[in-house]
Chains A and B, each alone.
Chain A
Amino acid sequence: MAEAGGTLAAYRALLGAQARAQTAYRTSFVIDLLGNVGATVFDVVTVLVLYGVTRELGGFTLRETLVMVGLTAFAFAVADLLVGNIERLPRYVRTGLFDAVLLRPLGALPQLLLMDLPLRKVSRGLFGLAVWVTALAGAGIEWTPSRVALAVVAPLAAVVFFGSVFVATATVSFFWVESGELANSVTYGGRDFASYPVTVFAGWFRAAFAYGLGFAFVSYQPALALLGRADPLGLPAWAGWAAPGVALVALAGASLTWRVGVRHYRSTGS
């Protein structure tokens, strides 16, 4: 019990040190806050511009698509805030910093996440939440208790899903140190994929991202369930509720790959 308390205190100390360090230069911190929200703003603006040229995208109107955009933007921002920094793992592996992490009597993953928790990304999460709420309000949803529940559960499941994707893709660097931006293709690529109706895509690319990697269940299927629309691609209505299950599978997969990755890790010897 005392040991668990000590561990918690250590994590809290790490987090506190981060918070103080990042807010020490206030102007830089404010610019970072603004810059981070800007990226998500432009993602939404892009969708608006596209709908300025067309009325429908893959058979979906702007109001319907915005539900997917909002859900994805919010969940991705929160996941990015909590575990997105794992992207830096390749650098930690290359420089040998990961050795130090493994030597300390704390979990490797929580340490990595808390060592550099990007508080500046809070602004992005708040903006994502605003888009999500606005999209829900504007989509003309007939609210039932189960849809209200889904509107709360779906983003949480999506956060778990995106977080798992971040961790799983980062472990690639244990095996391939120079993998560079490869992880981006699934993390940021997955975010972009989940921001549009799955019907926009086609062929094996759709099959791989939507059902192989499971991104269809992050926002598209829950959005269909909320909007009360049948899936043009033929999945049954309950697929909208598959999000938590898919998220748990992703979580299990991510923790497995992480464990395999850490075991595979060989120090740079520096």
Chain B
Amino acid sequence: MAWLRMEGSEVGSVAATVASHTDSNVILWFRTFNAICRSGFRRHATYRQAALAGVVTNTVFGFLRCYVLLAVAGAAGTAGGYDRAQLVTFVWVGQGLLAVVLLWGWTDLADRIRTGDIAGDLLRPVHPVTSYLATDLGRAGYAVLARMLPPILVGPLFFDVHLPARWPTVPLFVGSVVLAVVLCFACRFLVNATAYWLQDVRGPMVLWTLGSGVLAGLYFPLRFLPEEIQRVLWFGTPFPSLLQTPLDVLVERDPPATQAGLVALQAGWVVLLLAGCRLVQRRAERRLVVQGG
């Protein structure tokens, strides 16, 4: 409960001075955003044991997937355009990235809609999409330290990894990860927001869980699929932009121009889906009836 109080005091003090005209003051907007971000970080930093358990699990799956993909590469040493070292990096960074973008297990918004707690969010002078995004970025920041670094460090101890050979790859990867986090947040927000209409979000959640794992490139690199299917997935769905794109950028699967193109495509999806979130939120607020408020 400590984080709640902290969030309340910090955000409250900032928000109280700006009333409802948050948008007009950019500096205050950033300070608010920052404060929510930091409280998101602190909130998740309290769950240290859960993070440790998660790291162990990700590491076990890292070994599993790594051995399987190396077996796919087999004697030839390549598969789907990746060499062995690239596949190793793909798997281990992917295991870390999984917890950073947080594909699964986020039902905060849906729960608050169902219980009516969402009313509290709507009273705040910060747009719900903005405040949830800020919290999520804080969470992702903690996940980079606690969930992503360990598998990245463990992988090279047991396997030969691919290290970026071109320097622009590194900043491009960092940017791609940030975009992936925001994009994944937007997807989860939209899935959760179906609760405004459905109350029970099990159905959309099941579809999201199923689709996101396989179509984001977690189970196997999407480059293993036929070219036409790849194109449909990248341009027609946001899924490859969640994991596959940052990983492809990092292992330098493609020449620099394609790398940059993939990240630009990611950015396009981010803009589209964040706009979608705001639209959905506006439509939902118009019809929302909070029970017992």
Chain A contact residues, CB within 8 Å of chain B: 25, 27-28, 31-32, 34-36, 38-39, 42, 45-46, 49-50, 52-54, 56-58, 176, 178-182, 184-186, 189, 192-193, 196, 200-203, 205-206
Q: Which residue of B lies closest to A36 (CB)?
A: B206
| 27 A-B residue pairings within 8 Å (CB atoms) | A28-B200, A31-B202, A31-B207, A32-B203, A35-B207, A35-B209, A35-B210, A42-B214, A46-B220, A49-B220, A50-B68, A50-B72, A53-B79, A53-B80, A54-B72, A57-B74, A178-B47, A180-B50, A182-B57, A185-B59, A186-B60, A189-B61, A189-B64, A192-B61, A192-B64, A196-B68, A196-B71
| A53 adjacent to B72 (CB under 8 Å) | yes
In the complex, chain B residues 58-78 whose Cβ is within 8 Å of any chain A Cβ = 59-61, 63-64, 67-68, 71-74, 76
B74 interface neighbour in A38, A45, A54, A192, Cβ under 8 Å: A54
Q: Does B170 contact A (CB under 8 A)?
A: no
Do residues B57 and A205 form an inter-chain contact, with CB atoms below 8 A? no
User: B214–A45 contact, CB under 8 A?
Assistant: yes
B40-93: which residues lie under 8 A (CB-CB) from chain A?
47, 49-50, 53-54, 56-57, 59-61, 63-64, 67-68, 71-74, 76, 79-80
Q: Does B116 contact A (CB under 8 A)?
A: no
A42 to B67 Cα, complex, angstroms: 19
Give every chain A residue within 8 A of B214 (Cβ-Cβ).
Answer: 42, 45-46
B48 nearest in chain A by CB position: A178
Would B202 and A49 count as touching, CB distance under 8 A? no
Interface centre among A36, A52, A182 (most CB of B within 10 A): A182
Tell me whether B64 and A25 are in contact (CB under 8 A). Answer: no
Q: A54-B74, A193-B64, A200-B68 are in contact. Are A27 and B203 (CB under 8 A)?
A: yes
List the interface of chain B (C-beta within 8 A of A): 47, 49-50, 53-54, 56-57, 59-61, 63-64, 67-68, 71-74, 76, 79-80, 158, 200, 202-203, 206-207, 209-210, 213-214, 219-220, 224-225
Are A184 and B57 in contact, CB atoms less than 8 angstroms apart? yes
Of all chain A residues, the one with the shortest Cβ separation from B214 is A42
C-alpha gap A193/B71 in the complex (Å) = 13
A262 to B: closest C-beta gap in Å: 21
- How far is B63's CA from A196's CA once the two chains are assembled, in angstroms? 13
In the bound complex, residues from chain B placing their C-beta under 8 Å from that of A178 are 47, 49-50, 53
With A35-B206, A35-B207, A205-B63 already in contact, the answer to whether A53 and B53 are too (CB < 8 A) is no
Give the chain B neighbours of A32 by CB distance below 8 A: 202-203, 206
Chain A residues with CB under 8 Å of B207's CB are 31, 35
List the 3 closest pairs (A to B, CB-CB), nearest first.
A35-B206, A178-B49, A185-B60
Query: Which of B50, B53, B202, B219 has the most chain A CB within a 10 Å cutoff?
Result: B53
Cα(A27)–Cα(B225), bound, Å: 33
Provide the residues of chain B in CB contact with A200, threshold 8 Å: 67-68, 71
Q: Which residues of B contact A45 (CB under 8 A)?
A: 214
Structural contact, A179 and B67, CB atoms closer than 8 A:
no
- Report Cα–Cα, A224/B214, bound state, in Å: 29
Task: Report the minimal beta-carbon distance from A53 to chain B, rounded to whole angstroms.
Answer: 5
CA distance A176 to B53 in the complex (A): 10
Smallest CB-CB separation from A177: which chain B residue?
A: B49
A185 near B56 with CB under 8 A, answer yes
Q: Is the pair B56, A31 in contact by a Cβ cutoff of 8 Å?
A: no
Expressed in whole angstroms, the Cα–Cα distance for A31 and B205 within the complex equals 10
B55 to chain A, nearest CB (A): 10
A181 in contact with B47 (CB, 8 Å): no
CA of A218 to CA of B109, assembled, Å: 41
A42-B210, A193-B64 are contacts. A180–B53 as well, Cβ < 8 Å?
Answer: yes
Contacts of A36 in B (CB 8 A): 206
Say which residue of B59, B71, B224 sits within 8 Å of A58 (CB atoms). Answer: B71
Cα A184 to Cα B64 in complex, Å, equals: 13
Q: Which chain A positions have C-beta within 8 A of B49?
A: 176, 178-180
Q: How far is A52 from B76 in the complex, measured between Cα atoms in Å?
A: 15
Would B64 and A57 count as touching, CB distance under 8 A? no
Residue numbers in B under 8 Å from A182 (CB-CB): 53, 56-57
Smallest CB–CB gap between A42 and chain B, Å?
5
18 additional A-B residue pairs with CB within 8 Å, beyond A35-B210, A192-B64: A28-B200, A31-B202, A32-B206, A34-B206, A35-B203, A49-B220, A54-B71, A54-B72, A54-B76, A57-B71, A58-B71, A180-B53, A182-B53, A184-B57, A185-B57, A185-B60, A189-B60, A201-B63
Residues of chain B lying within 8 A (CB to CB) of residue A192: 61, 64
Closest approach, in angstroms, between the C-beta of A97 and any C-beta of chain B? Answer: 18
Shortest CB–CB separation between residue B206 and chain A, in angstroms? 3
CB distance B57 to A181 under 8 Å?
A: yes
The answer to whether A31 and B68 touch across the interface, beta carbons within 8 angstroms, is: no
- Are A202 and B67 in touch, CB under 8 angstroms? yes
Question: Of A32, A50, A58, which is in contact with the most chain B CB atoms at under 10 Å from its CB?
Answer: A50
**How far, in whole Å, are A239 and B15 apart by their CA atoms in the complex?**
68
List of A residues within 8 angstroms of B225 by Cβ: 49, 52
Q: Whose C-beta in chain A lies nearest to the C-beta of B73?
A: A54
Q: Which chain A residue lies CB-closest to B158?
A: A203
